[in-house]
């Protein structure tokens, strides 16, 4: 390495300085820039769902769900889904899937609005559809929040 006749330092003898020797400079040395500052981590998770089993009482053994979603437009949305006194199991005639009727309390933290929404949970997949607000809750999904906490589940919009 040295100086050429024009007194320009070049690490690869005869070209402009580049960190990866022979290509254009990029911040992560040999990879493509992804808009995340050269950091190859996935974006932080903005929703999650925690499934729990009721230990005591009338609904012992039933599933309850706490879910959250953080979006720019609506802010933080939380949902608590549980069976209620008139909960029943039923089988869908078209698919043969077994569902359990439940009630969801959805709270919009920005506006302070609270809604009670009847819903059904697929007994096999544990997927809950809140069709009144166009959202679904599922145990599938995993990731890390911006604060570094590991979370599972998904609570967000669904499309048909």
Query: CA 28 from chain center: how many Å?
Result: 27
- Co-location of 37 and 56 in the same domain: no
- Structural domain count, the chain: 2
Q: What is the pLDDT of residues 92-135, one digit of tens each?
A: 999 999 999 999 999 999 999 999 999 999 999 999 999 999 99
Provide the 3-class DSSP secondary structure of residue 108: strand
- Co-location of 32 and 53 in the same domain: no
Q: How far is CA 36 from CA 19, 29, 32, in A?
A: 19, 14, 11
Full residue range of the structural domain in which residue 29 is found: 1-41
- Co-location of 141 and 82 in the same domain: yes
Percent of all residues in the chain with a pLDDT value above 70, rounded to a whole number? 74
What pLDDT does 141 receive? Answer: 86
Cα separation, 26 vs 4, whole angstroms: 24
């Amino acid at each position: 390495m040295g100086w050429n006749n024009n007194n320009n330092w070049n690490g690869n003898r005869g070209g402009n300085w580049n960190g990866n020797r022979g290509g254009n400079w990029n911040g992560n040395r040999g990879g493509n820039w992804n808009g995340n500052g050269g950091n190859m981590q996935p974006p932080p998770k903005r929703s999650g769902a925690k499934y729990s089993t009721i230990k005591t009482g009338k609904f012992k053994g039933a599933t309850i769900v706490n879910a959250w979603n953080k979006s720019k437009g609506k802010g933080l949305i939380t949902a608590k889904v549980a069976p209620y006194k008139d909960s029943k199991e039923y089988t869908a005639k078209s698919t043969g899937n077994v569902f359990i009727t439940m009630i969801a309390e959805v709270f919009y933290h920005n506006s302070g609005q609270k809604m009670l929404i009847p819903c059904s949970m697929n007994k096999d997949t544990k997927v809950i559809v809140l069709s009144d607000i166009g959202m679904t809750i599922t145990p599938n999904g995993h990731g890390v929040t911006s604060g570094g906490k590991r979370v599972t589940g998904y609570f967000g919009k669904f499309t048909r």
